[in-house]
Amino acid sequence: MVAEAGGIAPVAGAGEHAPRTPDWTCGTCGAEWPCQPKRDRLLTEYGVDRAMLSVYLGACLAAAAEDLHAPGATSLQDRFFGWLPRRRAPR
Binding-site ranges for Zn ion (CB under 5 A): 17, 26, 28-29, 35, 37
CB of 63 to Zn ion, least distance (A): 17
Nearest to 61 by CA among 84, 45, 90: 84
Q: Of 37 and 58, which CB lies nearer to Zn ion in the complex structure?
A: 37
Nearest-angstrom CA–CA distance, 42 and 34? 9
Q: Of 2 and 29, which CB lies nearer to Zn ion in the complex structure?
A: 29
CB of 28 to Zn ion, least distance (A): 4
Give the residue at shortest CB distance from Zn ion: 26
Other CB atoms within 10 A of residue 59 CB? 20
Q: Of 13 and 82, which CB lies nearer to Zn ion in the complex structure?
A: 13
**Contact between residue 71 and residue 65 where contact means Cβ atoms under 8 Å apart:** yes
